[in-house]
Chains A and B, each alone.
Chain A
Amino acid sequence: MEHLLSIKDLHASINGKEILKGFSLDMKAGEVHAIMGPNGSGKSTLSKVLAGREEYEVTSGTVIYKGENLLEMSPEERAHQGIFMAFQYPVELPGVNNTYFMQASLNAIRKARGEPELNSLNFMKLVRTKLKALEMDENLLKRSVNTGFSGGEMKRNEILQMTLLEPTLSILDETDSGLDIDALKMVSKGVNSLRSPERSMLVITHYQRLLDYIQPDYVHVLSGGRIIRSGDKSLALELEEKGYGWLQQEAAA
C-alpha cells in the first residue's frame, strides 16, 4: 500500500541553524504515529515544516504527501489537502471572533475542494454538536480566537477545529501538555472519534499517559533532529521508565 506521507532525509534550518538533520518517516493511511523526544530536539520544527511555515528553510530531503510534493504547497494549500496541525502554542488573534474564524476556515477548505460553503446557521449547528462532544464552554465561541484563553482552553479549541475540519493527516504538537485529567480524556475522545482507515495522525507528546488514551501503532524517538529509535507503544513505557539518555548514548556510539 502506498504511503500517505513519506519523509526522506529531511534537513531543515532556521536562521542558518540546522534543526532537522536527516529526518525520515513513512506513514500509511489509518496509522497513528507518536513522536517523543527531549526538549529542543526538533519536534515542533517538524510540525511547522509539515504545515508550511515559510521561515524554515528545507535544505535537502523530500516530503511526499498523497503522492505529491508537499514542500511546494503553501500552508493554505496543505490545509485544503487535509493537513491539520494543532499548535503547541496556539496564536491569539485579538478582535477576530472565534466562530467567524472557524467558519472562514471550514468554508475556505470546502471552497478549495469545490464543496458548497456552509451558511452561518448550518455552521452554528455543526459547531454546537462538536462543542458538546468536547464539553467545551460555548462562551469560547463568542470570544476572540485564543485571546485570554487558558492553556487548556486553547488546546481544546485546537481540537474543536480539528473535529470540524476532519483532516486526513493530523499533527498534534503536545496537545496534551497543560491539560487536566478530564480535559485530557475529552481531547483524546475527540481525537479517537476521528480515527478511521483513511485518516492518519502524528501525535507529539512528552507523556506516555496520552498514549493510553490514543493508542499509537508506532512510537518514534526524535533526538538531535532525527529519529534514533522506533518501536511499538511499549517503547513509550520504556522511555517513561528510563528517560532518553540510554538511547542517545546508543545513537552516539
Chain B
Amino acid sequence: MSAALLDYYQTLAANVPNEHAYQAVGKQRLGLVELPNRKQEAWRYTPLAPVLEHQFAAASREEGLLEPADIASLRVTPADHVCVVLLNGFFMPELSTLPAQAGLEVLDLAQAIQTSAVGIERLGSLSGECLHLFGAVNAALTSAGAYIRVTDKLAQPVEIMHINYSFDGEVLSNPRVLVQVEANASLTLLEQHAAFADVLGMHNGVTEIFLGEGAALNHPRLQNDSLRTRHLSSLYIQQAASSVYKGTTLALGSAWSRTEFHLDFSGGHAHCELNGFYLAGEQQMQAMHLDVLHSVPDCSSRESFKGILYGQGKAVFDGNILVKKDAQQTDARLSNDNLVLSREAEIDTKPRLEIYADDVQCSHGTTVGQIDPEMLFYLRARGIPKSAAMGMICQGFAAELIAHCDYPALETKALSILQERLMPVAAAL
C-alpha cells in the first residue's frame, strides 16, 4: 500500500502544470518524502490508516453542483458581506459574494498567480519545504484556493466557506489560502468547513497568513465536516512586530481530523492567541498539533485548547512551544483541558515547552477529568434532570472556549451543533 500511495500521488502531480514556484517545490518534495508514520515525532500519536488506506481522486472544478441558496443557509455572516466559497478547494465566483470593498482584495488564487497580485511571491514561503506528504500533495496537485489581502481596518468580517462535496465519490481537495493583513490593517476572517452531505472525502488545506506591523487578525474557524470525512488543515502564521493574531478553531466534525498550527514571530511586541476546541465522539479522531516558535524577544502567546471526548473518540494534543536563546521576555502560556465522558475514549496530551532563553515567563498545564459530581448535584438540586444537567456542564465547558470567537452567530452555531451531538450522549450516560 505505502509505496503505491506515493506513486499514486506522484502520478497525479505529474499531470499538473506548475503555475507558481511553490508547486515545483511541492513536486520535488513529493519525490523525497516518506509516508507519515508513527515513528516520526509529529505523527507519533495520530492514527494514520484513515488517510493512508484510501486513494482519493484529485478533485476537479465542478460547476452547477451547488446553488447560491445552498450557501445562504450555511453562512454566519450577513448575506451582503464578502463570502468566498471554495468547493472541493476551487474558488467558485458564482457561489461567492464578492462586493468591492475599500482596503480588501479577494481573488481566486489561480488568478492571483496569473496576474502576479501583490505579495504572490510569498506563496509557499511559510509552508516552505512542505513538511510532510500532505503538505507536498497540496502544493503539487493544484493552484486552487483564495487570495486575500487587507490594507485597511475592515469593519465587516470576511467569510470563507469550504465545502467538500462531489458526485465523483471520494475526492481529495487541496485548497491553499493566502492571507496578507498589511501594516496596521485589521480583519475578522471567519472560516467554515461545512458538511453539505454525508460524504467521504479528504480535505487537505494549507493556509498561509502574513501579519504586517501592527496588523490584527481575528480568525475563528468552525470545522463541521461530515462525520466520514478526513480533514487536515495546516496553518502557517507569521507575525511582524506589534501584530495580534487571534485564532479559535472549533473542530467538531470529520472521522479523522488534524489541525496544525505553525506560528512564528518576526518582530517584537507581537501577541498571538491560539484557541482550540475539539469534540471527539463515536469513532472520531481529533488532533491538534502546535508549533509555536518564539525566536525574537518581547512577544507573548496564549495557547488554550479544550476537548470533550465520548464513545470511542480519540484526541491528540501535541503542543510545542520553542523559545529560542534570543527570545528574552517571552511570555507564553499553554493549557489543555479535557472532559472525558466514557471509558473507551482516549486522549494523548503532550504539551512541551522548550526554552533556551533565561528571562522568560512560560507555563503549561493539562487536565483530564470527568463531569464534576459537585456541579452535577448542584444542577439536579435545582430540578434539572440528570442528563440535561450533564449536557449543561459540557456546554459550559465548551462555551468558555467557543466565546473566544468573538462572533456570536458562529458561536451560536457551534454550540447548537454541540448540543445536538451531546444530547443523546448525556441521555445514555
Contacts and interface: CB of A to CB of B under 8 A. Distances in A.
A52 B381 CA distance: 8
A53 B377 contact: yes
A79 B381 contact: yes
A94 B399 CA distance: 9
Given A53-B377, A104-B392, A94 B397 contact: yes
A208 B398 CA distance: 44
Contacts of A106: 383
B382 A79 contact: yes
Contacts, number: 80
A104 B395 contact: no
Given A105-B383, A165-B383, A91 B378 contact: yes
Contacts of A76: 380-381, 383-386, 389
A93 interface: yes
B373 interface: yes
A180 interface: no
B396 A95 contact: yes
Contacts of A55: 373
A91 B375 contact: yes
A179 to B, nearest CB: 20
B375 to A, nearest CB: 6
B36 to A, nearest CB: 35
A203 to B, nearest CB: 18
Contacts of B383: 76, 79-80, 105-106, 108-109, 112, 165
Contact of A93 (B373, B375, B380, B381): B375
A30 interface: no
Nearest to A55: B373
Given A53-B377, A55-B373, A75-B377, A93 B384 contact: no
A121 B398 CA distance: 26
Contacts of B396: 93-96, 144
B400 interface: yes
Residue from the set B372, B379, B380, B383 with the largest chain A CB neighbour count within 10 Å: B383
Nearest to B385: A76
B388 interface: yes
A95 B375 contact: no
A108 B377 contact: no
B355 interface: no
A61 interface: no
A161 B382 contact: yes
Contacts of B403: 95
A96 B373 contact: no
A87 interface: yes
Nearest to A75: B380
A94 B401 CA distance: 11
A96 B399 contact: yes
A104 B399 contact: no
A55 B399 CA distance: 29
Contact of A104 (B373, B388, B397): B388
A112 B383 CA distance: 9
A161 B379 CA distance: 12
A112 B398 CA distance: 28
Interface in A131-167: 144, 161, 165
Contacts of B400: 94-95, 144
Nearest to A92: B375
Contacts of A74: 380, 386
Contacts of B380: 52, 74-76, 79
A243 B375 CA distance: 35
A141 B389 CA distance: 19
A105 B378 contact: no
B35 interface: no
Given A91-B375, A95-B399, A105 B382 contact: yes
Contacts of A54: 377
A80 B385 CA distance: 10
A36 interface: no
A96 B380 CA distance: 14
Nearest to B398: A95
Interface of B: 372-375, 377-386, 388-389, 392-393, 395-400, 403
9 contacts: A52-B377, A53-B377, A55-B373, A76-B389, A93-B393, A95-B398, A101-B379, A112-B383, A144-B400
8 A-B pairs closest in CB distance? A95-B396, A79-B383, A96-B396, A95-B399, A75-B380, A105-B382, A91-B378, A95-B400
